[in-house]
A and B are shown apart, each in its own frame.
Chain A
């Protein structure tokens, strides 16, 4: 994307350009950003759609899975005819159709260290602690943003870290990397689609806040109980003995 907006882009992003705290300068920041989205399921779909629509200049998608019929209740990038195709291939096609002015790359693969070079923010939309901890450690090392969310049943959770501004307090300070995985997951316990949509939208908003310089809640956890209709914000503190960001790391 060029550094100056053309007429079509002025029209496309006009609702951003009307806002004093985004404007043309903010839109330029979005267009220069490189964001990695890991997991293209119920969270990754709304994250990718909103960031592509917002004009984030480079989106990279990573997910090894293929579309299944049981995904379609909540994974809003896919249609029935996509079944058995790689999610990232379908997602890339939809995002390019939505916004041809951005660059979209994809990997039909598990996240690994070699796929994490050169991003401003990593967005965790996965469903397991091992992948989350891998991303967390790399974001700490690279001093970049990390926006992690998850959902189960009626519940959602978001926690975000701005490691460009804060060296301490990371995901491992809150959930130890050696913790066993909980018995319940979306495959065996179910999940409500719009709860994933709410958390994915919040992740996309958080990415935009970081890119535009508004993010202040390093390590704050947001919890959403969709059944009760209530939110809870929780603070956390850094562990001096954290194996990832602590003094001994």
Chain B
């Protein structure tokens, strides 16, 4: 199982999302979640959303392994 973390305002879209999921890449997680949680899916498809696996920023096609923690981070651009 893959452990999920939605950082910042992405957490507002993910209140009903289970804390774990079965998937092989972050991109697959995004597609699976978009089916059941379309608002979250839309938020995850914004430009500059980052994904990390075990606290390392990775590409969306990074292979996942059992027990991985996947965190999704919304873009933060203001100053």
Contacts and interface: CB of A to CB of B under 8 A. Distances in A.
Interface of A: 39, 41-44, 124-129, 149-157, 174-175, 179-187, 189, 191, 196, 221, 223, 225, 227-228, 232-237
Contacts of A152: 74-78
A191 B8 CA distance: 13
Contacts of B15: none
Given A155-B74, A237-B56, 15 more contacts: A129-B77, A152-B75, A152-B76, A154-B8, A179-B48, A181-B47, A182-B46, A183-B46, A185-B77, A225-B7, A227-B8, A228-B11, A232-B7, A234-B50, A234-B55
B78 A151 contact: yes
B79 interface: yes
Closest 10 CB pairs of A and B: A186-B78, A182-B75, A127-B79, A155-B8, A157-B76, A180-B47, A236-B57, A152-B78, A43-B79, A150-B76
A127 B57 contact: no
B57 A235 contact: yes
Given A183-B46, A223-B7, A155 B56 contact: no
B67 to A, nearest CB: 18
Nearest to A43: B79
20 contacts: A127-B79, A128-B77, A151-B79, A152-B78, A153-B8, A155-B7, A155-B8, A174-B50, A179-B47, A183-B46, A185-B77, A187-B78, A221-B57, A223-B7, A228-B8, A233-B55, A234-B55, A234-B57, A236-B56, A237-B56
